[in-house]
Amino acid sequence: MRAVLAGRDALGVLPTGGGKSVCYQVPALALGGLTLVVTPLVSLMEDQVRRAREVGLAADFLSAGRDAASRRRVLGAARSGAIHALFVAPERLGVPSFQDALAGADVRLLAVDEAHCISEWGHDFRPAYRRIGVLRDRFPAPVLALTATATPRVRDDVRASLRLSDPLCVVRSFDRPNLSWAVRPGGSLGERARRTHRLLRRVRGPAVVYAPTRKAVEHVRDVLAGFGTVAQAYHAGLPAAERSRVQAAFMEGGCRVVVATNAFGMGIDKADVRTVVHVQLPSTLEAYYQEAGRAGRDGEPAWCVAFRGRGDGALGRAFIDRAHPRRRRLVRLYRRLLRIADEASVARFALRDACRSLGRFALPEDVHGAVMALERCGAVRLLADDPGGVEGTGDPSDGSLILRVGVRTRADLAVAARLRRASRVKLRAVVRFARTRGCRRRAILTYFGEDAPSRCDGCDRCLRGASPPLLEEQSQHPWTDT
């Protein structure tokens, strides 16, 4: 905060619960003018605006989901100085009409949240983030980059891509001494769900159970319900109203256990979560640390338990194949889109109709993943929902979903190859973490470039069956299989 108030660029790597929002809220109040906050998700924007207003900031956001009148009103308020903070997605910064609309605004700070998205070595790469740096000439203001998870390589990439000039770099420790870490052997999904029930029966307080797919979420929730555990399901396939209901019930204490995909996370700032269970480890340690780190944000003892089985590596590789397809699949789909594009270079197609382009056994979800991969390469640009389409549910698993994409005549598929390699490197790091015979906490801290003692006396490896001191109030610690 002192750095940006003095007009200097800054990079903050602050773990979950480390106060990233405060780092732009205080300068937004103190600097006057307009603070422009780049953030990746509309759901996150809405939560950030709510929190900003709670501390007295006049804040608003722009998104494609708002009507034209609302967008004009917000831009007018930003130009006139009626709001302190404007939240936008990175893609909007590259729109010439948006740049022109803000030409008269007094932008005094550009804050980039979730800044790891700028790096091909980050875990949520968004190509639009790479273009933020070129806007510095249009908005001559200090830049504040913030993220919760960034390895040293990602930090270097963020500094270079945002063109940070002599930035102050603040990297807080990733160590969370109040968390106990454990990885347990996992069998079938049903067996993992039953073990999760036994764990939750021993442990008091709110809990989040992460599962890798929507079907897995429903299955685990049903198993827990069969044992009498009241649990709610949360995933992107549910109606927005239902997701909001589940999140509100959990935050307000009306629901103790939520079983969810990684869609449940942004905006979850519940301090007293005592347990986070992963029925399967995610594909990156960044994602695992971020999700597991939602436990114990009040500083009280909490634990993070993950299951790992022999078949999990294959499923992890399958996720990579879907998110980062092999080059030959991307080439085949790209050529098809070039063929079906109209005179305006726009291709309109249903996911099921493009499956054959990827191979005999391709699913609609595979096509959707390949389109997203092509967009990251700059080969296509996903356009707004089809204006005349009546088919489709909006769910990529439904082959009737219609997409409209602008197809560019030149593509750099080398980006896709680099992202695929990076994803496989990250998956191997997860496997090493699961198999390590040493301290779990040390493994996590070392991954993020931090020195750590050889023992923590709080994880399953260090304790080797002994009861963890910070959990002595429990009759049994959560990774015993009795």
Give the residue from 303, 112, 317 showing the smallest Cα distance to 212: 317
Alpha-helical (H) ranges within 188-347 are 189-202, 214-226, 240-251, 285-292, 312-323, 327-340
Residue with tokens 């209901």: 245
Domain boundary among 315, 331, 351: 315
Q: Are residues 37 and 160 in the same domain?
A: yes
Q: Are residues 190 and 270 in the same domain?
A: yes
Condensed to tens digits (0 to 9), the pLDDT of residues 153-179 reads 999 999 999 999 999 999 988 888 899
* pLDDT interval class at 19 (50, 70, 90): confident
Q: Give the model's pLDDT for residue 64.
A: 77
Helices (H) and strands (E) in the chain, counts: 18, 16
Print the SS3 string covering 89-117: CHHHHCCHHHHHHCCCCCEEEEEECCHHH
Q: Are residues 132 and 8 in the same domain?
A: yes
Q: Are residues 132 and 163 in the same domain?
A: yes
Q: Give the model's pLDDT for residue 240.
A: 80
* pLDDT interval class at 398 (50, 70, 90): low
The answer to which of 16-20, 76-80, 182-186, 418-422 has the lowest mean pLDDT is 16-20
Q: Give the model's pLDDT for residue 308.
A: 92
Residue 278 within any structural domain of the chain:
yes
Residue 353 within any structural domain of the chain:
no
Q: Give the model's pLDDT for residue 131.
A: 81
Strands 207-210 and 275-278: parallel
Query: Could you count the other beta carbons within 10 Å of the beta carbon of residue 457?
Result: 14
pLDDT of 400 above 80: no
pLDDT of 298 above 80: yes
pLDDT of 480 above 70: no
- C-alpha torsion 327→330→335→339, nearest 10: 180
pLDDT of 18 above 80: no
Number of domains observed in the structure of the chain: 2
> What CATH number should be reported for the domain holding residue 126?
3.40.50.300
Condensed to tens digits (0 to 9), the pLDDT of residues 242-273 reads 988 998 899 888 899 999 998 887 657 788 99
DSSP 7: T
pLDDT of 389 above 70: no
Mean pLDDT of 427-450: 93
pLDDT of 96 above 90: no
The rounded percent of the chain whose pLDDT value lies above 90 is 48
Q: Give the model's pLDDT for residue 279.
A: 96
Q: Are residues 214 and 144 in the same domain?
A: no
pLDDT of 440 above 60: yes
Q: Give the model's pLDDT for residue 385.
A: 47
Q: Give the model's pLDDT for residue 397.
A: 63
Please state the pTM of the whole predicted model: 0.82
Residue 47 within any structural domain of the chain:
yes
Residue 418 within any structural domain of the chain:
no
Q: Give the model's pLDDT for residue 330.
A: 93
Q: Is pLDDT larger for residue 18 or for residue 45?
A: 45
Q: Give the model's pLDDT for residue 395.
A: 59
Mean pLDDT of 135-151: 87
Domain boundary among 143, 171, 199: 171
Q: Are residues 162 and 186 in the same domain?
A: no
pLDDT of 393 above 70: no
Give the DSSP H or E segment for 382.
strand 380-382
Q: Give the model's pLDDT for residue 174.
A: 86
Residue 195 within any structural domain of the chain:
yes
Q: How far is CA 116 from the centre of its chain?
A: 10
Residue 13: strand, helix, or coil: strand
pLDDT of 392 above 60: no
pLDDT of 475 above 50: no
The rounded percent of the chain whose pLDDT value lies above 70 is 92
- DSSP for 239-266, please give it: -HHHHHHHHHHHHTTS-SEEEE-TTS-T
Residue 436 within any structural domain of the chain:
no
What does the alpha-carbon distance between residue 415 and residue 380 come to, in Å, rounded to a whole number?
Answer: 13
Q: Are residues 135 and 8 in the same domain?
A: yes
The mean pLDDT value of the chain amounts to: 86
Residue 340 within any structural domain of the chain:
no
pLDDT of 220 above 80: yes
Q: How far is CA 479 from the centre of its chain?
A: 27
Q: Give the model's pLDDT for residue 472.
A: 43
Q: Give the model's pLDDT for residue 266.
A: 62
Q: Are residues 114 and 187 in the same domain?
A: no
Give the residue from 145, 157, 169 showing the smallest Cα distance to 90: 145
Residue 403 within any structural domain of the chain:
no
* pLDDT interval class at 359 (50, 70, 90): confident
Mean pLDDT of 436-443: 94
Mean pLDDT of 110-126: 86
Q: Are residues 33 and 145 in the same domain?
A: yes
What's the token pair of residue 9?
A: 């660029």
pLDDT of 481 above 50: no
pLDDT of 347 above 90: yes
pLDDT of 465 above 70: no
pLDDT of 223 above 90: yes
What does the alpha-carbon distance between residue 124 and residue 113 come to, in Å, rounded to a whole number?
Answer: 12
Condensed to tens digits (0 to 9), the pLDDT of residues 24-67 reads 999 999 998 999 999 988 777 888 888 899 999 999 998 877 88
Separation of first and last alpha carbons in the chain: 50
Domain boundary among 123, 141, 171: 171
Q: Are residues 23 and 165 in the same domain?
A: yes
Mean pLDDT of 280-309: 91
Per the structure, the complete domain to which residue 241 belongs is given by 179-315
* pLDDT interval class at 68 (50, 70, 90): confident
What does the alpha-carbon distance between residue 434 and residue 425 come to, in Å, rounded to a whole number?
Answer: 15
Q: Are residues 33 and 69 in the same domain?
A: yes
* pLDDT interval class at 471 (50, 70, 90): very low
Where would I find the beta strands (DSSP E) of 106-217? Answer: 107-112, 143-147, 168-171, 179-185, 207-210
Q: Are residues 143 and 252 in the same domain?
A: no
